[in-house]
Structure 1
Amino acid sequence: MQKGAGSASAHASSSVRYFGDSRCRSIWQWQLILASTAVMIAAGIAVLSPTMFGSWSFSAGLLLIIIVTVISLAIPWQRLGASAVAVLPVLDTIAIGLLDAGGAPPLSFLWVFPVAWVASYYSESALVGLLGLIGTSTMLRLFLVGVTPEEAINVVVLLITLTFVGVIMQVGASRTRANKRLLQKQSTRIAHALRRVTEQKARNRRLIDSLDVGIARVHDNGLLEVSNRAFHRLLALDENAGFHPTRAVEYRSRRGSPIPWNETSIARATRGELFVDELVWLFGLDGQWRAVKSSVRVIESGGGTNDGVLLILEDVTSKIDPQAGRDETRRTISHELRNPLTAILGHVDLLLERDDVSDSARRQLEVVERAGARMERLIDEGLGTASVAYDDADLEFDLADIARASLEGFAPMAEAEGVTLKVYLDEVLPLCADAFRLRQVVDNLIGNAVKYAQRGGTVTVRSLHPDDGDVALVITDTGIGISEEDLPHIFEAEFRTQLARERGIPGTGLGLGISRRIVIDQGGRLNITSELGQGTEVTLALPSRLERRSV
């Protein structure tokens, strides 16, 4: 049965290739045009002069055209050469000759179809041969019916006309083929040039991605036209992200005040401001501070004009804060040691689960497992603990101020996307927590709301004091919403809703999971309710400053 199914599948595939062959379609087109014209003329003759069907040659000619047409539709022409196809116009020429001999001289002009066919696809000798066959057919007819001056003139006019049509068609076909060859050559050259440009672009991309310094060409609308991996890493941008604001927040100093969105490095580069080695601090998604020197330079395009500006970011944290450099080295060593150790312990666990392991081998594996676990603890204790104090987690601030600063940064993006922002932050939301990490959470929540509200939507941000003594920030959008099936999974790493994927909305699916962990570390809650097609409401609730102090 499977063999039969495979054979049927192969036959269906062969049929598809056969009916999709452009050469076959061209042959059918020429033959069907002639056949349909002959049949329509025959139908007219049947109405106006049915006695002509009494002529055996007329009936034989019409029947021959129909037979040739049926055969042309059945033959797999893609397997045959051009000489085999030439049989069709020759048979058509003979059939038209029979129609002509049947007493219907006007039908002789049907010879224009095989003449045009041969002239379009074959050489001059083939065209001369076909015209000779037509001349022979007309001469035989003259000898059969008798030569008269009128008949002789008709034959001469017919042959001259067909010759003229053939020459014109052949010249036109030759030019068409020449143009086609020229276009193919040009297309090949363009394809080669495009491939070279693509390869050069890929080489340039690998080159700039190999740099430790972050670089980006900034358009005057804030779009990052070209940027390397170091730039995205420093500003915590997604790979496909191209708009300000970034997920890494800029500060004037470590643990200082955030820089307003219109004074950030990207915003100043957008306005075309030029500066060199200005120091800013970035607080990244990993909770680490980075000192960055930023510069903006004009990209010269020649002729005295410029081609935009280049924003350059250099991580100088290790130079300004040696302890930060040591912490980064510690994290790198810890990561490099954990990977092989995890693999070792994982395979030891798999071996211990097997029933065919001898008692002596099992005891040896248990020794390896205990030693590996001890090494894991040593890595945690010796390399996993940062040497700096977590003094960022005890700041007193107003969560409403953080929300206002975040909204200020997302206002240009909302305006560009056609999203309306409504702000109700009249109440003070006092907190004693990690203001820098919570700024990341608020940025992520407001950024998501603007992104998923889409054009014409509305994002509302309001402060709230729940009855349990917490302070809360409620962010509501009128966007695409989340389905009941997707809602339980939204905090999972790299999870994206089906509707977001279908609409091509950019994102990595990491932001909500990171935000939830940060909120839980601060003793708070992150609740999300949503209805598909109606929008989403996110409530960020945290213990107030007084509650935090009482604890």
Structure 2
Amino acid sequence: MAIDGVQLLEHIQTPALIVSRGQVSFANAAAKALLGAHILGQDVRIAIRDPLAVSVILSESGGTAKVGGLSVGGSVWEIDCKPVGIGERLVTLYDLSVQVSVARAHADFVANASHELRTPLATVLGYVETLMNPKAGGDEATRERFLKTIRHEALRMQSLVSDLMSLSRIEAIKHEVPSETVDMVVLARETAGEFRTGGAVTVTANCEHAPIAGDRGQMAQVLRNLIDNAIKYGKPGGAVQVSLEATNTGWLLIAVHDDGEGIAPEHLPRLTERFYRADTSRSRAAGGTGLGLSIVKHIVERHRGRFDIASRPGSGTTASMMLPLRKD
């Protein structure tokens, strides 16, 4: 390859190699960062330890091949090889990890959503078929018990569809920075006032007003989700505390604390994953969809904030978020 061509390769961010008669004769900075500086002058079969990739690189016509684990475990790279002279090959490497990860996440999401809908739907169909039997359907007590179960499962499906649509809408506008002024102290008190059952919801604040640049509907949804979770998983009739603290550094800390059993440490990092539940049976019995905290996280991130969950078995759970206060 001409010298000016080699110089050009040195300045591109895509990892690139020139392989001459089976040896790496050139590697740009991106390739050295990926594979190590020692690959220069090395046999390509040692530099890239993948039989399929090596066979493509050493073939007469070149081609493409996918290689796993070049950078970190689980990463996926595409190797593109083109002949550029007698016994000389230009090899470029493209990181497909993000695309593969997104595709896998999408497939997992569809599978999980289908499973979550299939379970209550199977229950509803089973009970309806039983009620269609004159013996079961004619018994008043049995019919009432079955109808209550059908209603419960139908409401679960309705909640799941609603949360799926909500998550889809949030993701569609996640890159749009909200501009409406929302007073979080006022909104927290209004939202807490909506909860009349399950225990006392108290709101404390170190300021009268805490304006942020936000989407009022989405922030109300965040507070409802967190308070609802605190009531569901706190002690029966227990108190839920919502606290707001405006800091001198221009941030607003909002925390929702319950006095429930708490959550084991191994579950905490995964609680905002879609459909993840620390206690599957209890969550479903309470009508949870497994999407609430994922929705909260997406909304908080859209508002340029940070979301966290702290808990210890026997000491309750605190869900908190840091949001930037509006300066003007």
Q: Could you state the TM-score of these two structures normalised by the residue count of structure 2?
A: 0.48
Q: 1 or 2 for the larger relative contact order (CA 8 Å, sep ≥6)?
A: 2
Larger strand percent: 2
